[in-house]
């Protein structure tokens, strides 16, 4: 088994300087560092250390105590699934109308399913103002959640995103989805416009804004903002390191 190679003095200096400036390390540089350390061959411990460094550099290191608490723990109002006793907390801030979020949806769904016994996952709303139906979609999911069908509506909204994104009758479409899920139509229509649900979506958004979210999707792992992985394997690498570090 090959020994992991150490970073050069120049690379260590660059890392320290980037940390001082709060500068994110580029994906290209990340790959160079992974290769330099020989992580793919044997450096599992080094992988955990480097992942921690990279996550810190990509936005998580300057969180205040309140923000760290917001991102490292879940509240009873969070829409969460997985192992509630796990100390590994994976959070997504997302917009149902966002095309990028739609692209990430099947990847995140599979990863969360595979790790459901080992992590907690929470979906938080961050509807962008340029998406005319995003806030309504967020409220539709919460209205479904009031009747115990949040995740079913969450999945349907992403899977049918192309049907309602630019629709002028999105509310009618969402009501149809609710009925197809066996929800009470009158209750759904009352809840979707309720102050409680509007406040829930706003609270998620405000919390994300405080945490530095400015685009969707944005992911946090144990309170640290991630540079979005490009594929399923990238998420698995980060989550595996977080699980190993929690033992």
**Considering only CA atoms, which of 115, 67, 118 is closest in space to residue 93?**
67
Which contacts qualify for 110-118: CB closer than 8 Å, 24 or more apart? 110/232, 111/232, 111/235, 111/236, 111/239, 112/81, 112/82, 115/82, 115/90, 115/239, 115/243, 116/81, 116/82, 116/83, 117/82, 117/83, 118/82, 118/83, 118/86, 118/88, 118/243
Residue 14: phi and psi, rounded to 5, are -60, -40
**Whether residue 31 has pLDDT greater than 90:** no
- The answer to whether the beta carbons of residues 88 and 120 sit under 8 Å apart is yes
pLDDT at 15: 40
Cis peptide, bond prior to residue 217, ω within 30 of zero: yes
For 128-185, the pLDDT digits (tens) are 999 999 999 999 999 999 999 999 999 999 999 999 999 999 999 999 999 999 999 9
Query: How far from chain centre, in Å, is Cα 75?
Result: 16
Per the CB < 8 A criterion, the answer to whether 84 and 120 are in contact is yes
Integer Cα distance of 5 and 194 in angstroms = 58
* Contact (Cβ atoms closer than 8 angstroms) between residue 112 and residue 81: yes
Residue 61 CA: distances (Å) to CA of 168, 176, 182, 237:
42, 44, 44, 20
User: Residue 1 and residue 126: Cα distance in Å, rounded?
Assistant: 45
What's the pLDDT score for residue 69?
Answer: 53
Domain positions in the chain: 9-62, 67-218
Closest CA to 224 of 24, 52, 31, 50: 52
CA 52/CA 193 separation, integer angstroms: 42
Quote the mean pLDDT of the chain: 81
Considering only residues 63 and 138, tell me which one the structure prediction assigns the higher pLDDT: 138
Give CA–CA dist 238/47, Å, rounded: 9
Alpha-carbon gap, residue 95 to 165, rounded angstroms: 11
Mean pLDDT (whole number) for 115-139: 98
Q: Which fold has domain 67-218?
A: Glutaredoxin (3.40.30)
For 194-240, write each residue's pLDDT tens digit: 999 999 999 999 999 999 999 999 999 999 999 999 999 999 999 99
């Amino acid at each position: 088994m090959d020994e992991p190679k150490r970073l050069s003095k120049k690379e260590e200096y660059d890392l320290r300087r980037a940390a001082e400036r709060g500068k994110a390390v580029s994906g290209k540089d990340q790959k160079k560092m992974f290769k330099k350390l020989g992580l793919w061959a044997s450096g599992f411990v080094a992988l955990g250390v480097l992942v921690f460094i990279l996550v810190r550099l990509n936005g998580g290191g300057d969180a205040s105590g309140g923000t760290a608490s917001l991102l490292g723990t879940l509240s009873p109002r969070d829409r969460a699934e997985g192992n509630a006793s796990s100390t590994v907390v994976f959070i997504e801030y997302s917009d149902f109308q966002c095309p990028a979020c739609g692209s990430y949806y099947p990847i995140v769904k599979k990863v969360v399913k595979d790790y459901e016994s080992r992590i907690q996952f929470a979906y938080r709303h961050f509807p962008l103002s340029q998406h005319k139906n995003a806030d309504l979609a967020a409220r539709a999911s919460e209205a479904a959640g009031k009747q115990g069908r949040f995740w079913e509506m969450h999945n349907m909204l992403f899977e049918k995103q192309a049907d309602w994104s630019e629709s002028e009758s999105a509310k009618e479409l969402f009501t149809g989805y609710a009925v197809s899920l066996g929800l009470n139509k009158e209750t759904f229509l009352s809840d979707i416009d309720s102050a409680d649900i509007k406040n829930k979506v706003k609270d998620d958004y405000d919390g994300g804004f405080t945490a530095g979210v400015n685009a969707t999707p944005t992911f946090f792992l144990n309170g640290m903002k991630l540079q979005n992985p490009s594929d399923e394997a990238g998420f698995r690498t980060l989550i595996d390191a977080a699980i190993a570090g929690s033992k």
